[in-house]
Structure 1
Amino acid sequence: MAKNISQDEVQSREDIKKQKRDQKAERKAAKKNEIPRLIRIRLIPIWLRILLVIAMVGGSLIGGLMVGYGVLGDGNPKDVLKKETWTHIVDLVVEKK
């Protein structure tokens, strides 16, 4: 049952480390020969994405105010955009003495 191992099959730690280093060097050399990856060009630049997000948040805020004031509050939805409406709301909330 015991296997006879020849001297050729036995490797020292140094031999194993050398093999690993050689394999790593081969992988690096193969990687250098590969075709370089193409640089990704964004369809929408980051600065434009930020502006779009800000515009969408503002639009959804105005849309929500119009729905809340017009549909739920039985008022005219376009009145939300008037300054007089907001001054009246602020006057109701903040009582002047």
Structure 2
Amino acid sequence: MTNEFERQAVQPTIKKTRRGFRRKQEQQPPTPEPTNDPPVRWVQLRLIPIWLRVILVVALFIAAGAIGITVGYSVLGGGDSADALKWSTWQHLLDIMSGKQ
């Protein structure tokens, strides 16, 4: 029985951590002393600049509107899809709305 106690006393205690097992007798590495240097700031570069994003969004809205007008005029209205984007078609619609015709 005394031999068991001696074995336990001789073996170093082991502490279980998240990274594995660590012996309690091992010394931790010294922590670095804080310096007065300013912290390093990371600069994030944008792949697409904001002004280009605004232009892309406006262009996508215009393209989506043109596609919607073309599909609506040709499918729902029964007209030719090329006539949907002609100025004469829109002038005719404006004349009807204003009561000139």
Fold similarity call, TM over 0.5 = yes
TM-score (norm 2): 0.59
Higher strand proportion? 2
Q: Distance in 2 between matches of 1:46 and 1:90?
A: 36
Rg larger for: 2
Off by >6 Å, runs of 4+ in structure 1: none
Q: Which moved more, 1:29-38 or 1:80-89?
A: 29-38
- Residues 68-83 of structure 1 mapped to structure 2, 5 A cutoff: 68-83=72-87
Q: Which runs of 5+ in 1 are unaligned?
A: 1-28
Report the equivalent of 1:66.
70
Tell me the residue number matched to 2:43.
39
Unpaired runs of 5+ residues, structure 2, are: 1-32
Query: Which SS does the other structure have where 2:67 is aligned?
Result: helix
Q: How well do the aligned residues superpose, as a CA RMSD in angstroms?
A: 2.4
Give me the TM-score of the superposition, normalised by structure 1: 0.61
More helix by share: 1
Query: Whole-Å Cα distance in 2 between the matches of residues 60 and 36 of structure 1?
Result: 44
- The residue that corresponds to 1:24 in the other structure is none
